Chains A and B, each alone.
Chain A
Amino acid sequence: MGLIKKLPVYTEKMPGGGIVMTSLEAALHNAQAKSLWYLLFGTACCAIELMCTGASRYDFDRLGMIFRATPRQADLIIAAGTITKKMAPRLRLLYDQMAEPRYVIAMGGCTIKGGPFYYDSYSVEKGIDHIIPVDVYIPGCPPRPESLLEGCITLQEKIKKQSLLDWQEKD
């Protein structure tokens, strides 16, 4: 994997490598953005809105998003609902089990900052960004399906703007 990971760096230095890199980046990240498979993971009332977004009225599948039950095949965790202190290690484990590249959407107030009802609770994790890196925050309690779709489209835009050279920084 060493050579493959260094490949973008070497390609960039070659004459005309910049053109190759930019078009390759566009193609690869376009594909990533257009098939975000999300993990079946819902812990509270936000999960109901998540299910509603997957069902006929809002339809995630239009964006190419289908659910996978196993974290190995998922690209995206939509953390839908309150994450308690007891659930936090499991969320971390699920995130670790996912294959790179992986993305996280924090859906709802509880996952952003503990939420409007549990902000002073002894048992609730005050924001999942204490546990895993978050790409997109969607506020709401719970957010409507429209805002979830908006969040997913925002994540797609974010993925499309990535660079292959980012691989270097992650190591």
Chain B
Amino acid sequence: MTFPVAVLELYPLFRWLSGVLESFGFSANTVLIISYAVLGVIMFSALSIIALFLVWWERKIAAHMQQRFGPMRHGWHGWYQTIMDAIKLLQKEDVRVASRDKIVYFWAPVICFVAAYLAYIVMPWGKNLIVADFNIGILYIMAVTTFTVIALLMAGWGSNNKYALLGGMRSAAQVVSYEIPMVASILTVILFVGSMSMVDIVTSQSGWIFNWFIFKLPFGPIAFVTYLIAATAEANRTPFDIPEAEQELVAGFNIEYSGMKFAMFFLAEFINMFTVSALAATLFLGGWNGWSFIPSWAWFLMKTFGVVFLMMLIRWTYPRLRVDQLMEFAWKFLVPVTFANLILAAVIKYAGWHW
């Protein structure tokens, strides 16, 4: 049985499934397609559960930071609140504005939803726990997560609503600006690894805690903090959530979406947050590396949820930036800092001063 070149490490489950299917006498291609379909379903369910959990967690954190309790009535501390929300949103009427752009309006939530899930093809969840290890893994993630902007812009345009259009345009401006410092911070990591494969990035941080890139890089903490700021902006979260600023734009790009279409935007937002946090954990915090008495996927999840928790604390602590402040912060502060950091790192790497 032959795999595509890109697939180096696979789930043990994948191997087991392929073996079982082969023993039934299916052809190699059929086995591959069925196995990938099963993997896709597993990833989809896991991510959906994570997104639902994150919504509940966000509400609880918000509530506790404001000295409230948050959802309390439905299950232990309201644990099935978001499941109820999802079932309710499924039942809601699908409002379609008469003056909408039909194709664009329909496909915007779909693209947003799919783009959020696409990044997990190359995400290393644990040792040997990765769907496919591309040699351009990190580039692929950067490319795919940017699809979200197109979806938000489509939602803004297709709704034929001035607030939605403003939200979409703001989102495009913001993500294009913050993409540059984000990539520049990631480049320092890639510079030292010498590979864009996610598995290589994680394995080069193995060993003890000071091999993590946040400590190992010449200016690791700076790269990490700039990445985190840019990632917060990338995920459209407060203090950078001007695309859906409630006080100015009612609800921003998703103003005309109801029911399940809105739920798709909502879930995609939380999956995007999980994606950037997982990237932060993988690139700077050692990925699934850790003491071996805890399984590697648990390390990955612990670090990722730690970063998610940090992002939620930031969200409920700081007020929203104005549009011009946002742009000034990106172009006048983040871009020079990250580029200086990148150039210094390159010089240090070239001169061989690092350990």
Contacts and interface: CB of A to CB of B under 8 A. Distances in A.
B103 interface: no
Contact of A59 (B63, B94, B257, B258): B63
Contacts of B81: 34-35, 64
A66 B56 CA distance: 12
B7 interface: no
B262 A72 contact: yes
Counting chain A residues whose Cβ lies within 8 A of the other chain, the interface size class is: 20 to 34
| B contacts with A: majority SS | loop
Contacts of B71: 61-62, 64
B72 interface: yes
Interface in B251-270: 251, 254-259, 262
Given A31-B91, A34-B73, A69 B246 contact: yes
Q: Which of B59, B81, B258: most chain A Cβ within 10 A?
A: B258
B79 to A, nearest CB: 12
B95 interface: yes
Given A28-B91, A35-B84, A35-B85, A61 B251 contact: no
A72 B73 contact: no
A28 B68 contact: no
A63 interface: yes
B256 A30 contact: no
A56 B63 CA distance: 8
Interface string A11-48: 00000000000000001101110110000100000000
Given A34-B81, A34-B84, A56-B68, A68 B92 contact: no
Contact of A62 (B73, B254, B255): B73
Contacts of B254: 70, 73
A40 B93 CA distance: 20
Nearest to A153: B73
A52 B98 CA distance: 37
A99 interface: yes
A64 B84 contact: yes
With a 10 A CB-CB cut-off, give which of A35, A40, A68 has the most chain B CB atoms: A35
A2 interface: no
B88 interface: yes
A100 B246 CA distance: 23
A99 B94 contact: yes
A75 interface: yes
A62 B84 contact: no
Given A72-B256, A72-B258, A100-B93, A61 B88 contact: no
Given A27-B87, A32-B91, A64-B71, 16 more contacts: A30-B84, A31-B84, A31-B85, A56-B67, A59-B69, A61-B63, A61-B71, A63-B73, A64-B84, A69-B246, A69-B251, A70-B256, A75-B92, A100-B92, A100-B93, A101-B92
Interface of B: 59, 63, 66-74, 78, 81, 83-85, 87-88, 91-95, 246, 250-251, 254-259, 262
Interface of A: 27-28, 30-32, 34-35, 40, 55-56, 59, 61-64, 66, 68-70, 72-73, 75, 97, 99-101
A-B pairs with lowest CB-CB distance, top 7: A31-B87, A99-B93, A99-B258, A100-B93, A72-B258, A70-B251, A34-B84
